[in-house]
Amino acid sequence: MCQILKIAKSTYYYQTNNCVKYDVNNYEEEFIGAFNKSLKIYGARKIKAVLMRKDIILSRRKIRFLMIKNNLVSKYTKLKYRNHRTMVNNDQISNVLNRQFNNKKPNEVVVSDLTYVQVGGKWHYICLLINLFNREIIGYSARPKKPLN
């Protein structure tokens, strides 16, 4: 039939979208009431949801426009980082060396250091054992995961 009448199929199947146009000025009081009822916390998204429950359809852009027009700014809370104190390394260790690092005998005092380096784009841990007699590295351990002890 569309070929005979020489019209596009899209024209035949076209249905009008019966959108209801709202006059924004009529709903400005509802909008401001929803904002104030939320204790001035809601932004455009939540105000839109509140108005939708009242069968008032306004776009977020229109709501943002109304917010700017009426100088309404939502108060929002930012998530704050809280420092969690853990009980790591709180053991009281006596100071045996008392900063006297000049030792008379080899292997009398051995200290360790744990550090990490980037190898091939991944972090690897290195634990070194150092003899304080001659500052020589007497042992090491390197692995991609942190050593347990």
Work out the pLDDT band at 147, boundaries 50, 70, 90: low
Highest mean pLDDT among 10-19, 90-99, 132-141: 132-141
Q: What is the pTM of this model?
A: 0.40
Q: Which two tokens stand for residue 23?
A: 């006059």
List pLDDT tens digits, range 123-141.
899 989 999 888 899 999 8
Does residue 148 lie in a domain region? no
CA distance linking residue 91 with residue 98, whole number of Å: 18
Last residue of a domain, one of 40, 61, 79: 79
The pLDDT, as a whole number, for residue 85 is 73
Evaluate whether residue 94 is within a structural domain: no
Nearest to 64 by CA among 36, 35, 38: 35
Q: How far apart are CA 25 and CA 22, in angstroms?
A: 9
The answer to whether 64 and 48 are in contact (CB under 8 A) is no
Q: Is residue 85 part of a domain?
A: no
Residue 93 lies in a domain: no
- The per-residue pLDDT for 139 is 93
Q: What is the pLDDT of residue 105?
A: 85
Q: Are residues 26 and 74 in the same domain?
A: yes
pLDDT score for 20: 60
144 pLDDT higher than 60: yes
In a domain, 91, yes or no: no
Confidence of residue 109 (pLDDT cuts 50, 70, 90): confident
What domain count does the chain have? 2
Task: Check if the beta carbon of residue 30 is closer than 8 Å to that of residue 51.
Answer: yes
Q: Which residues contact 43 (CB under 8 A, 6 or more apart)?
A: 74, 76
Among the ranges given (9-18, 37-46, 56-65, 68-77), the one the predictor scored with the smallest mean pLDDT: 9-18
Residue 130, in any domain of the structure = yes
36 inside domain: yes
Domain hosting residue 135, numbered range:
110-143
Given this model, what pLDDT does residue 100 score?
Answer: 79
